[in-house]
């Protein structure tokens, strides 16, 4: 997926697949879009057009831009149809249809005059792609598919070695494994910023960067990536909310009890969450809900509930008011979805999806690699969105249709695993282990660049707390502030 940027200030029109291509034109000013800064600090990724440069825009996915006689028009040429529902006669037909679409998605992305590799984490998505591609690669060249993985021997919460080895033990692959727990999230940051053209929000991009580098050294030119198969297929948990909305209490209790066995979440919590969002919450005025939350927190001995979100604790309040930050966040909030398909559609069309694909594309390009995403094949996405909710969540198994379709292809230990590892602890470990002093220096030395957007005193307290405490929730704030400070200093951009 190639991003497309354009600038049209009345006197000049320019377009390129990277922002730097437009900035090479001296007539185009470098003016900071402060709204983009607010989006970055609050992790608001819904805007599919805005960039950090006021006069440069992204062309939204599924749109085309036309210039005719000086007039510019942007129109949508394709969109997912959330109303399409696939009705087949049996589970077997749904599973066969999925496997056919999935095989076609992988096969069409293996066409290349150069070696093809695959990311392999041990998760359901990357393992499915790798195992199918491995079988397709038999008889081609040396008959072995190159795989690239990151392990975390020193951070058990993030390590997938147990599952990774299940795939490697089947043979047919040529594995390359790096130690993710020995990498700093800030590795090659300045070089990565040059390729991304903007501050980096993707916290674990350093892992992809290092794996792309390993693949490049091995001569791989095309990389299969299982990015967000979760979203393409859907975990199907919207079915619980759908059952609550339809007041099908027995079915809701049964599915919640089954799901709890695999997710380790209390069935009562699953039921109450579904009932709250779709039968209670909408009828209670917002001020009353806030009071109830405060009382509940006090009774349970938890932290005090404030009428502020985390970002409001460190974002400059004058800046937030100036750009209307809270109103902007509120404008992107969708009303609760009433059906699984509606929730599935909302996730598929969320702005974070094209953003992430664009970020990955630019990182791969730095090493001469083309990333390809079988789970984002148009035919596969449309097929999965059209499935009945019972094909996504079945007897407590999320993404059931994928699991069933991989019978005989995936190792059973992966096919029927319930939960996935969390890369968050690995990210925090790397940031704290390798970069504490550097972060403190960046924040202190570049406070003049940040003070317009961030409460410097609050930020410094957060940085000190992060350095002194083994476990806390400050790593994301520290990461974003460090990236933003370094980028603002080097971008030579006026506010």
CATH code, domain carrying 121 = 3.40.50.620
Share of the chain above pLDDT 70, in %: 91
* pLDDT at residue number 127: 97
Q: Are residues 227 and 359 in the same domain?
A: yes
Domain for residue 295, yes or no?
yes
* pLDDT at residue number 291: 41
Domain for residue 82, yes or no?
no
Contacts of 344 (CB under 8 A, 6+ apart): 234, 238, 384, 385, 392
φ/ψ (deg, to 5) at 50: -75, 145
Contact in structure between 46 and 332 (CB atoms under 8 Å)? yes
Q: Are residues 372 and 398 in the same domain?
A: yes
* pLDDT at residue number 3: 66
Q: Per residue in 28-52, pLDDT tens?
A: 889 999 999 999 999 999 999 999 9
Confidence check: pLDDT of 282 > 80: no
Contacts of 106 (CB under 8 A, 6+ apart): 129, 132, 133, 136, 224, 374
pLDDT level of residue 241 (50, 70, 90 thresholds) = confident
Total domain count for the chain? 4
Q: Are residues 68 and 182 in the same domain?
A: no
Domain boundary among 365, 389, 415: 415
Higher per-residue pLDDT: 310 or 2: 310
Confidence check: pLDDT of 110 > 80: yes
pLDDT level of residue 2 (50, 70, 90 thresholds) = low
Q: Are residues 72 and 127 in the same domain?
A: no
Average pLDDT, the chain: 89
> Model-level pTM?
0.89
Confidence check: pLDDT of 270 > 60: yes
Q: Say which residue the tokens 């040529």 belong to.
A: 174
C-alpha 310, offset from chain centre: 20
Domain for residue 147, yes or no?
yes
Domain for residue 118, yes or no?
yes
Query: Can you give the length of the chain in residues?
Result: 495
* pLDDT at residue number 49: 94
Domain boundary among 396, 415, 434: 415
* pLDDT at residue number 447: 87
Domain for residue 328, yes or no?
no
Q: Are residues 362 and 391 in the same domain?
A: yes
Q: Per residue in 314-323, pLDDT tens?
A: 999 999 999 9
* pLDDT at residue number 294: 41
Burial group, residue 257, by CB count within 10 angstroms (0-12, 13-18, 19+): middle
Domain boundary among 393, 415, 437: 415
Domain for residue 329, yes or no?
no
* pLDDT at residue number 278: 58
Confidence check: pLDDT of 287 > 50: no
Q: Are residues 317 and 379 in the same domain?
A: no
- What average pLDDT does this structure show over 237-260? 89
Annotate 354-406 with DSSP letters as a single string.
Answer: HHHHHHHHHHHHTTT-EEE-GGG-HHHHHHHHTS-GGGTEETTEETHHHHHHT
Confidence check: pLDDT of 107 > 80: yes
Q: Are residues 253 and 356 in the same domain?
A: no
Q: Are residues 126 and 210 in the same domain?
A: yes
Q: 303: domain range?
A: 238-322+335-345
The phi-psi region of residue 440 (left if phi > 0; otherwise alpha if psi is between -120 and 50; otherwise beta) is: alpha
- What average pLDDT does this structure show over 320-344? 90
Contact in structure between 40 and 199 (CB atoms under 8 Å)? yes
Domain for residue 408, yes or no?
yes
* pLDDT at residue number 164: 95
Of 111-115, 284-288, 471-475, the range with the lowest mean pLDDT is 284-288
Confidence check: pLDDT of 299 > 80: no
Contact in structure between 119 and 180 (CB atoms under 8 Å)? no
Q: Are residues 144 and 175 in the same domain?
A: yes
Q: Are residues 465 and 385 in the same domain?
A: no
Confidence check: pLDDT of 335 > 60: yes
φ/ψ (deg, to 5) at 148: -135, 125
* pLDDT at residue number 9: 67
Can you tell me the distance from the alpha carbon of 473 to that of 478, in angstroms, rounded to the nearest whole number? 10
- What average pLDDT does this structure show over 266-292? 60
Higher per-residue pLDDT: 405 or 274: 405
- What average pLDDT does this structure show over 226-236? 94
The pair of structure tokens assigned to 286 is: 């917002």
Q: Are residues 453 and 313 in the same domain?
A: no
Q: Are residues 200 and 117 in the same domain?
A: yes
* pLDDT at residue number 292: 37
Confidence check: pLDDT of 444 > 60: yes
* pLDDT at residue number 301: 37
Confidence check: pLDDT of 285 > 60: no
Confidence check: pLDDT of 304 > 60: no
* pLDDT at residue number 418: 87
Domain for residue 86, yes or no?
no
């Amino acid at each position: 997926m190639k991003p497309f940027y354009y600038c049209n200030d009345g006197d000049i029109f320019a377009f390129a697949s990277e922002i730097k291509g437009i900035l090479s034109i001296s007539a185009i000013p470098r003016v900071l879009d402060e709204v983009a800064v607010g989006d970055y600090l609050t992790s608001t990724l819904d805007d599919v057009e805005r960039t950090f440069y006021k006069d440069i825009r992204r062309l939204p996915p599924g749109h085309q831009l036309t210039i005719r006689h000086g007039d510019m028009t942007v129109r949508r040429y394709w969109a997912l149809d959330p109303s399409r529902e696939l009705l087949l006669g049996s589970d077997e037909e749904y599973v066969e249809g999925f496997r056919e679409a999935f095989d076609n998605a992988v096969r069409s992305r293996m066409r290349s005059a150069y070696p093809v590799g695959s990311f392999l984490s041990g998760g359901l998505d990357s393992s499915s792609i790798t195992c199918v591609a491995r079988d397709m690669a038999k008889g081609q060249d040396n008959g072995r598919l190159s795989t690239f993985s990151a392990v975390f021997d020193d951070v058990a919460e993030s390590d997938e070695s147990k599952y990774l080895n299940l795939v490697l033990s089947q043979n047919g692959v040529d594995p390359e494994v790096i130690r993710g727990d020995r990498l700093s999230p800030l590795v090659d940051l300045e070089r990565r910023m040059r390729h991304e053209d903007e501050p980096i929000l993707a916290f674990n991009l350093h892992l992809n960067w290092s794996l792309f580098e390993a693949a490049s050294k091995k001569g791989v030119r095309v990389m299969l990536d299982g990015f967000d198969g979760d979203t393409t297929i859907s975990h199907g948990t919207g079915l619980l909310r759908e059952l609550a909305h339809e007041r099908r209490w027995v079915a809701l209790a049964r599915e919640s009890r089954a799901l709890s066995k695999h997710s380790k979440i209390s069935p009562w919590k699953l039921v109450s969450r579904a009932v709250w969002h779709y039968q209670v919450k909408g009828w209670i005025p917002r001020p009353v809900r806030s009071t109830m939350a405060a009382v509940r927190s006090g009774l349970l001995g938890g932290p005090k509930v404030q009428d502020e979100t985390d970002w409001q604790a460190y974002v400059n309040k004058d800046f937030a008011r100036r750009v209307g930050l809270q109103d902007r966040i509120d404008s992107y909030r969708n009303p609760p979805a009433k059906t699984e398909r509606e929730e599935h559609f909302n996730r598929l069309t969320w702005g974070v999806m094209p953003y992430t694909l664009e970020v990955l594309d630019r990182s791969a390009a730095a090493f001469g690699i083309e990333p390809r995403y079988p789970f984002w094949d148009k035919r596969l996405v449309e097929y999965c969105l059209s499935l009945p909710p019972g094909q996504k969540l079945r007897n407590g198994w999320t993404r059931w249709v994928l699991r069933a379709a991989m019978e005989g292809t995936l190792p059973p230990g992966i096919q029927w695993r319930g939960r996935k590892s969390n890369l968050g602890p690995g990210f925090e470990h790397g940031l704290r282990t390798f970069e504490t002093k550097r972060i403190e220096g960046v924040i202190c030395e570049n406070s003049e660049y940040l003070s317009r957007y961030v409460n410097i005193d609050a930020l410094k307290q957060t940085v000190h707390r992060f350095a002194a405490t083994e476990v806390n929730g400050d790593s994301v704030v520290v990461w974003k502030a460090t990236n933003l400070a370094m980028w603002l200093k080097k971008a030579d951009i006026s506010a």
